[in-house]
Structure 1
Amino acid sequence: MNFVQPIRDPDKIEAVKHYLKSRSDRNYLLFVLGINTGLRVSDILTIKVGDVKGTHLRIREGKTKKQKMIRITPTLKREIKGYIEDKDDHEYIFKSRIGDNKPIGRSMTYKILRDAADAYNLVDIGTHTMRKTFGYHFYQKYKDVALLQELFNHSSPDITLRYIGVNQDVMDKALSKFRI
């Protein structure tokens, strides 16, 4: 398994959003929902239209089996609203074009993200990039590792900081100034 990084540069995030939006509303919303909720891609792909009609998204995480409730921000709500208006509650939001009401898979999600990453020369990008991007920017804004640890269901703050790449940033900064 490759080690993936968050997208740290807000301009690159906007560029990826623009790129995806110009190609597919589904793929754009997949990325936007991923970077705004911090959910694992396996949980994102199970979301149905009816799941996002309220103020909160309620899911049972596939990995931890824990019940999770995530507030849908007004900005994210606007993005979702236009996309789901002609869809039924039982439909998967990120429906595959193949088959009848089946979600896209992880491999297709990876291809979607890799395509956008290649367009902007982003490296170390994969399906966990969306979750890590959420975590990285959440931490940069609030500096609350305990809350982020709780959101991610991690066992320690150190795991959370390592996961989102903050430890790497600290090491890079320290080494860039190091000289013997």
Structure 2
Amino acid sequence: MSAAGNKSSIPQQWQQSGWHWWWLVALLIVADQFSKWLILENMPLYSRINVLPFFDLVYVRNYGAAFSFLSDQSGWQRWFFTAIAVVISVVLIVMLRRQPKSMKAANLGFGLIVAGAIGNVIDRINYGYVVDFLDVYVGTYHWPAFNVADSCIVIGAGLIIFDGFFSNRPDK
């Protein structure tokens, strides 16, 4: 069959692997970066916009990792967390390439984690910090501010855990 007759330029083995979610990974990275751009362009640092009784938009900078872990360090953590995210993304992409398409929950979870990791790596490289802007709270208790990339990582991890408990794959 000629190249013009192919449905896609993606190799057949990739179409049958877990990496068939690549389009969602790309879309989520764009959504993450676009949402952060909107915040950077329209909100002063530390400003707050009340959206719902339990949800605000805020603009904060996270120089560390989850829950601002190591954010008070001298700057080495920027490259440390960038390297970790790149390594994890590469490992997950390789895993996605090797896993069958039928492992839907795990593959989607890995893809979401890759999208989130890359979204936050882009921030660390461009700004030296991650832009966080989603603030969920109950009364005076606030969950640490997060972003679309962080949401992808959490949902992805949840899907992988779900797959681990509820998949019907036979043991090898």
* Greater share of residues in strand: 2
TM (normalized to structure 1)?
0.28
TM (normalized to structure 2)?
0.29
